[in-house]
């Protein structure tokens, strides 16, 4: 088992890093970029009850599981954290592979939602918590509202959620601004103590 990170050892790479942030800030894009460019980082593969999208591979992007299987994983305490995301599907981090990766000495990254990050804060307080922030409010709004096809009510609901999510920044140890994916990826990798091999 790698040594626990002492309080105040901010410069030392923590064994587990949690990446969270508001909806549509680009967490998925940054973690895809990490996966492609920094294979030294062990990226947790979440379980989810949603169906795969085109191009998603079971066991690589997610473990796609049934509702019953997800319930079994939760009830047998196999999830480090889990949450219902966007009021629809359940997503969770299987605990055993994370522990194994830490024991093997890999820098571990969890890309999860805010509710999940708060649970990890309780169960794994020595983890490092990174908030991925938009460069500014207008950028987040345009990413959130996309093609502008939503109703006024839906639009207001998404903006209200975004305001609440942005306010969570103060709960985190570090903020990375997602102004450019490549740059944000490099900053995150450096935080994990990993450098580009290319
Ligand atoms: P998507 O369905 O677009 O791949 O992901 C939707 C959301 O689920 C993203 O905000 C992502 O951070 C979150 N998510 C993915 N995996 C997990 C997980 O294991 N736990 C939690 N709490 N959220 C997750």
Q: Which of 7, 12, 9 is nearest to 107 (CA)?
A: 12
Q: Which of 5, 6, 20 is nearest to 176 (CA)?
A: 20
The protein residue whose alpha carbon is closest to atom 18 in ligand 1 is 92
Cα–Cα distances (Å) from 23 to 41, 45, 111, 114, in that order, read 23, 19, 12, 9
Distance between CA atoms of 4 and 171, rounded to whole angstroms? 21
Looking at residue 26, the DSSP 8-state letter turns out to be S
The answer on whether 8 is annotated among ligand-binding residues is: no
**For the CA of 116, the nearest atom of ligand 1:** 22
Compute, in angstroms, the gap from residue 48 CA to the centroid of ligand 1.
8
Compute, in angstroms, the gap from residue 27 CA to the centroid of ligand 1.
9
Which of 26, 35, 45, 46, when mutated, tests ligand 1's pocket best, judged by the most ligand atoms within 8 Å of its CB?
A: 46
User: Could you list the pLDDT tens digit for every one of the 198 residues in the chain?
Assistant: 444 434 333 444 569 999 999 999 999 999 999 999 999 999 999 999 999 999 999 999 999 999 999 999 999 999 999 999 988 899 999 999 999 999 999 999 999 999 999 999 999 999 999 999 999 999 999 988 877 778 889 889 889 999 999 999 999 999 999 999 999 999 999 999 997 766
Query: Can you give the pTM of this predicted structure?
Result: 0.90
Distance between CA atoms of 128 and 137, rounded to whole angstroms? 25
């Amino acid at each position: 088992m790698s040594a626990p990170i002492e309080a105040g050892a901010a410069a030392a790479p923590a064994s587990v890093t949690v990446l969270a942030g508001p909806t549509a800030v680009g967490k998925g894009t940054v973690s895809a970029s990490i996966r492609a460019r920094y294979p030294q980082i062990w990226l947790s593969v979440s379980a989810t009850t949603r169906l795969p999208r085109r191009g998603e591979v079971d066991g690589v992007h997610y473990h796609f599981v049934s509702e019953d299987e997800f319930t079994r994983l939760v009830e047998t305490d196999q999830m480090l954290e889990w949450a219902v995301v966007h009021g629809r599907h359940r997503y969770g981090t299987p605990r055993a592979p994370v522990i194994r990766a830490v024991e093997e000495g890999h820098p571990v990254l969890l890309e999860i939602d805010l509710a999940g990050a708060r649970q990890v804060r309780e169960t794994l307080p020595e983890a490092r918590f990174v908030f991925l922030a938009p460069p500014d409010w207008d950028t987040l709004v345009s990413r959130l509202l996309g093609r502008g096809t939503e109703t006024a009510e839906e639009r207001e609901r998404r903006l209200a959620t975004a305001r609440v999510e942005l306010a969570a920044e103060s709960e985190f140890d570090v903020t990375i601004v997602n102004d450019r994916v490549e740059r944000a990826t490099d900053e995150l990798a450096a935080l994990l103590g990993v450098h580009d091999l290319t």
